[in-house]
Chain A
Amino acid sequence: EDQVTQSPEALRLQEGESSSLNCSYTVSGLRGLFWYRQDPGKGPEFLFTLYSAGEEKEKERLKATLTKKESSLHITAPKPEDSATYLCAVQAVVSGDSSYKLIFGSGTRLLVRP
């Protein structure tokens, strides 16, 4: 069964304390992997798209990488405003069909304390 697993479920960091969030997946026909940030009560905000193993993308304090079985989102010197839930989503082939589906992980809740 296609599955996307994010770890840890929750992460508390001190301001400036760098860390990584992990997203592992078991899907057939991976087409792309997406990272989103979601603030409470709001819709997910797009961060990155990764398509192939070895690919890296950076934006401000965030850096996303992709391997064949997982992706990491590294946060360098985080600030309190980085506090949010980070969602990973994988676009995979629907078995027996020519269409694709987007499967979301359950997210990592990040809290950055000043």
Chain B
Amino acid sequence: KAGVTQTPRYLIKTRGQQVTLSCSPISGHRSVSWYQQTPGQGLQFLFEYFSETQRNKGNFPGRFSGRQFSNSRSEMNVSTLELGDSALYLCASSKNRLETQYFGPGTRLLVL
């Protein structure tokens, strides 16, 4: 069974630009969560989507947004990038809400 896939794997952007990251969950999984991982803050929850609806949101500014499609694939968008947005962005999927989450390899974003 294929795992969670994320594209792109690496991305370099400049301040002020926007970026869209993509996540394809494990087949049959309907819940997708996004996390930001940095050396200083560790793994921080961004948001969770289930049945195309955002169900939960972490403490991040409105520049961070996401959506989920009918096939459970998800995208997250960061607008007006700041240097501090440089991080590893991880997507995790689970069969249903509250079940074990399985992580993708992540997208490493560098903002210059």
Interface residues of A (CB under 8 A from B): 31-32, 34, 36, 41-46, 49, 87, 89, 91, 94, 99-107
Contact = CB atoms under 8 A, between A and B. Distances in A.
A46 B43 CA distance: 15
Contacts, number: 49
Contacts of B102: 46
A4 B108 CA distance: 25
Contact of A100 (B56, B92, B100, B105): B56
B12 interface: no
Contacts of A44: 43, 90, 103
A94 B97 CA distance: 14
A48 to B, nearest CB: 9
Contact of A102 (B4, B55, B101, B108): B101
Q: Indicate the member of B43, B98, B100, B105 with the most A CB atoms within 10 Å.
A: B43
Going nearest first, the 6 A-B pairs with the smallest beta carbon separation are A43-B103, A104-B43, A106-B42, A44-B103, A43-B105, A99-B56
